[in-house]
């Protein structure tokens, strides 16, 4: 925004220059397509994939897995986060599990998940949920605990019940943290679904990448990577749009602070 219209134009030009450079290098040095395809081949693969309707079905599968995994992981993460934040006892007993699970790279569970839940969509939903779970749980806990002492005292001075303090103060107060967690959970769910498909699946974009790898269709793989990053942007955009609506009152510093909390605590996926 700061760089104005000329900045915008320069940006676009830069992208074109990069693509031209790429194309030129591949052609000039005669790099084989199974190592690095020129961008024109990638675009062609993208076009063919959509024209033959091959990609659409796989995109649908991956999206479905991502959304269901996100929903499942979020519901569980939120519920557990609330329980931990509100009850010292629950926190005390669950703490060892949380620490162990937090330190473990969740994607490493994917092979086990495939064994337990099969090659169908269920295993990918579970994998996505597993990966999405942690950032949201950590943020839910941090958010619910972040209620300002003065505000808690105000509620208490009104003889508010613990339940009322939760609904009227802690939960709305935690929303910036929760949304920051949801943003990350959404992207993590996509990662979980793709990794699950890598390990074992009959459909989905991850499975498509795997099979293209076997046939050395590198241009095809690049075209799927493009689709995946577009999906990532789209999914992130959905959560951000929702956040802007719900958190109209938030002066953004809070969300940033929460994002930092995630970076510090929920990093390992």
Question: Where do contacts with other proteins occur on this chain (CB under 8 A)?
Answer: 148, 150-151, 153-160, 164, 168-169, 172, 175, 249-251
CB of residue 182 vs other proteins: minimum separation in angstroms? Answer: 17
The Cα–Cα gap between 188 and 66 comes to 9
Q: 144 and 78 in contact (C-beta within 8 Å)?
A: no
Q: Are 263 and 135 in contact (CB under 8 A)?
A: no
**Residue 4 or 149: which CB sits closer to other proteins?**
149
**For other proteins, the closer CB: 48 or 151:** 151
Give me the residue label for tokens 């006892």: 89
Q: Which residues contact 90 (CB under 8 A, 6 or more apart)?
A: 83, 84
Q: What span, in angstroms and rounded, lies between the C-alpha atoms of 206 and 193?
A: 8
For residues 105 and 24, what is the distance between their CA atoms, to the nearest angstrom?
A: 40
Query: Given the complex with other proteins, which of 56 and 154 has the nearer CB atom?
Result: 154
Distance of closest approach, residue 162 Cβ to other proteins, in angstroms = 12
Between 97 and 163, whose beta carbon lies closer to other proteins? 163
CB of 70 to other proteins, least distance (A): 25
- Minimum separation from the CB atom of position 250 to other proteins (A): 7
Give the nearest distance from C-beta 253 to other proteins in angstroms. 12
Q: How far apart are CA 248 and CA 172, in angstroms?
A: 12
Pull the structure tokens for residue 208: 């498509």
In terms of phi and psi (left: phi > 0; alpha: psi -120 to 50; beta: otherwise), the region of 221 is alpha
Q: What is the DSSP letter of 262?
A: H
Could you tell me the smallest distance in angstroms from the CB atom of residue 172 to other proteins? 5
Phi and psi angles of residue 176, each rounded to the nearest 5 degrees, phi first: -60, -40
Nearer to other proteins, 46 or 175 (CB): 175
Nearer to other proteins, 29 or 253 (CB): 253
């Amino acid at each position: 925004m700061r760089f104005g219209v000329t900045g915008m134009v320069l940006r676009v030009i830069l992208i074109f220059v990069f693509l031209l450079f790429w194309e030129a290098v591949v052609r000039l040095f005669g790099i084989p397509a199974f190592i690095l395809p020129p961008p024109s081949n990638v675009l062609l693969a993208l076009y063919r994939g959509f024209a033959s309707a091959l990609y659409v079905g796989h995109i649908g599968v991956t999206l479905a897995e991502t959304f269901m995994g996100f929903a499942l992981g979020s519901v569980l993460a939120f519920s557990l986060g609330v329980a931990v934040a509100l009850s010292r006892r629950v926190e005390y007993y669950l703490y060892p599990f949380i620490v162990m699970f937090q330190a473990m790279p969740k994607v490493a569970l994917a092979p086990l998940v495939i064994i337990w839940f099969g090659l169908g969509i269920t295993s990918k939903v579970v994998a996505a949920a597993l990966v999405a779970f942690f950032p949201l749980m950590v943020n839910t806990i941090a958010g619910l605990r972040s209620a300002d002492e003065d505000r808690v005292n105000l509620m208490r001075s009104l003889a508010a019940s613990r339940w009322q303090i939760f609904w009227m103060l802690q939960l709305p107060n935690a929303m910036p943290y929760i949304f920051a967690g949801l943003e990350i959970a959404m992207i993590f769910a996509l990662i979980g679904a793709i990794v699950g498909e890598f390990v074992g699946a009959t459909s989905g974009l991850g499975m498509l990448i795997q099979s293209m790898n076997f046939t050395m269709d590198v241009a095809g793989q690049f075209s799927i990577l493009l689709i995946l990053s577009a999906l990532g942007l789209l999914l992130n955009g959905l959560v951000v749009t929702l956040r802007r609506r719900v958190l109209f009152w938030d002066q953004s510093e809070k969300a940033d602070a929460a994002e930092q909390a995630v970076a510090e605590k929920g990093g390992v996926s």
